[in-house]
Amino acid sequence: MGKSIVIVGAGVIGLDVALLLAERGYGSHITVIAEHLPGDTSINYTSPWAGANFSAISGNDANALRWDKLGYGHMMKLAEEHGVEACISKTPSFEYWDEMPSRTKIDSMSEYLKDFKILAKSDIPEGCQFGVSFTTITVNAPRYIQYLHRLLKEKYGVTFIREKLTSIESAFSHPSTKVVFNCTGNGARDLPGVQDSKCYPTRGQILLTRAPHIAKNVMRHGKDYETYIIPRPQSNGNIILGGFMQKGVGTGDTFSSESESILKRTTTLLPEILTGGAMEVLAAFSGLRPSREGGARVERTSIPLDGSGSGILVHNYGASGTGFQAGLGMANEAVGTVEDVLSSLPQAKSRL
């Protein structure tokens, strides 16, 4: 079992790090340790609850914009080459804002989004200030992480261990471990050795509904709400309706009043989601985005270890509402901080 590289966490963030390393030939060196693995559901495991799509939901800071751009490039390539098995798809997208978004954000998006277009005022909903269309990526979140899990195990020889760590130091328990990636999402707030008080959950509630005739992604960004319609790839015609961005709220309960609000807002935004005037709602879910004041943390640090000097610890958590869209961009930079460690490991032939 390869323990030179340990990744703590098997959400999309940990799996993306494993994927980039495995594609470079390091799969047999990697062990992923996680309390929850793809296929599980828990309020302490965010990834299965995501919509998910690529959107303009992220912040305006340079890091978020760069990770989005990198992530978009990777996801587009994945959709083109393995879209069906990965359950991700290129999808036409329309995004509207109640208030004008920042120039920095628009300039950044316009540089790389495929088919990017600023919409005429007559083509955007009443009450909105601004709108764009482009080709986005939609993701069947629970099935995408299961695809990555399978791929990493079966094709690249990555080892997965189900275990809840009681401290980040314990990830270094094997003498051959050279680097640990901390991809613990909301766990980073309380995990001894990390205990990042800047972390907080941002709750969302979504509805899984059926509307096989909907083939476009639509979002409306409000001052204190997000309304979205995301077709779910490889789901036999399901769509995700959302949502909420509740800062600091940590319950996994779902509320009928919120489901009603979602239905009201999404059917107003895109009345054609209804079939014969009705909507078949299959389920309501809630999930907790792992948010962090100041944005996600992608950083190499060194950690003192009992009796054996120090260990290399790379933090990669706090993706909030962008783990699927920006995860591969974050992984790219997290991996980039340990090129010196990687160059000391024997590498299997690259499978890129």
Ligand X SMILES: Cc1cc2nc3c(=O)[nH]c(=O)nc-3n(C[C@H](O)[C@H](O)[C@H](O)COP(=O)(O)OP(=O)(O)OC[C@H]3O[C@@H](n4cnc5c(N)ncnc54)[C@H](O)[C@@H]3O)c2cc1C
| CA pair distance 85, 71, nearest whole angstrom | 19
Report yes or no: 32 and 10 within 8 Å, Cβ to Cβ.
yes
Which of 46-54, 78-86, 106-114, 218-226 is the region at the interface with ligand X (rule: CB under 6 A)? 46-54
Report yes or no: 259 and 168 within 8 Å, Cβ to Cβ.
no
Q: Residue 223 to residues 59, 65, 208: CA-CA distances in angstroms?
A: 14, 20, 24
Query: Using the rule CB under 6 A, is 184 a contact of ligand X?
Result: yes
Q: Is 71 annotated as a binding residue?
A: no
Considering only residues 17 through 36, tell me which ones interact with ligand X, judged by CB under 6 A: 33-36
Q: Cβ atoms within 10 A of the Cβ of 290, count?
A: 27
Query: Using the rule CB under 6 A, is 220 a contact of ligand X?
Result: no
Q: Is the peptide bond before 52 cis (omega within 30 degrees of 0)?
A: yes
Alpha carbon 162 to its chain centroid, in Å, reads 21
Query: Using the rule CB under 6 A, is 64 a contact of ligand X?
Result: no
Binding letters toward ligand X, positions 85-104, x by CB under 6 A: --------------------
| CA pair distance 346, 287, nearest whole angstrom | 39
Listing from the earlier edge strand, what are the strands of the sheet with 179-182?
A: 159-162, 30-34, 5-8, 179-182, 310-317, 297-304
Query: Using the rule CB under 6 A, is 14 a contact of ligand X?
Result: yes
Nearest C-alpha neighbor of 157 from the set 56, 333, 31: 31
Query: Using the rule CB under 6 A, is 9 a contact of ligand X?
Result: yes
Cα dihedral value 287, 290, 291, 294, nearest 10: -170
Query: Using the rule CB under 6 A, is 233 a contact of ligand X?
Result: no
Report yes or no: 114 and 135 within 8 Å, Cβ to Cβ.
yes
Query: Using the rule CB under 6 A, is 2 a contact of ligand X?
Result: no
| CA pair distance 94, 294, nearest whole angstrom | 28
For residue 226, the minimal CB distance to ligand X (Å) is 9
Q: Which of 25, 231, 290, 329 binds ligand X (CB under 6 A)?
A: 290
Q: Is 202 annotated as a binding residue?
A: no
Query: Using the rule CB under 6 A, is 52 a contact of ligand X?
Result: yes
| CA pair distance 344, 30, nearest whole angstrom | 14
Query: Using the rule CB under 6 A, is 337 a contact of ligand X?
Result: no
For residue 121, the minimal CB distance to ligand X (Å) is 27
Query: Using the rule CB under 6 A, is 74 a contact of ligand X?
Result: no
Considering only residues 94 through 153, tell me which ones interact with ligand X, judged by CB under 6 A: none
Residue 10 or 124 with smaller CB distance to ligand X: 10
Residue 8 or 87 with smaller CB distance to ligand X: 8
Find the residue with minimal CB distance to ligand X. Answer: 11
Query: Using the rule CB under 6 A, is 321 a contact of ligand X?
Result: yes
Binding site for ligand X (CB under 6 A): 8-14, 33-36, 45-47, 49-53, 164-165, 183-187, 191, 204, 206, 243, 287, 289-290, 317, 319-325
Binding site for D-serine: which residues?
228
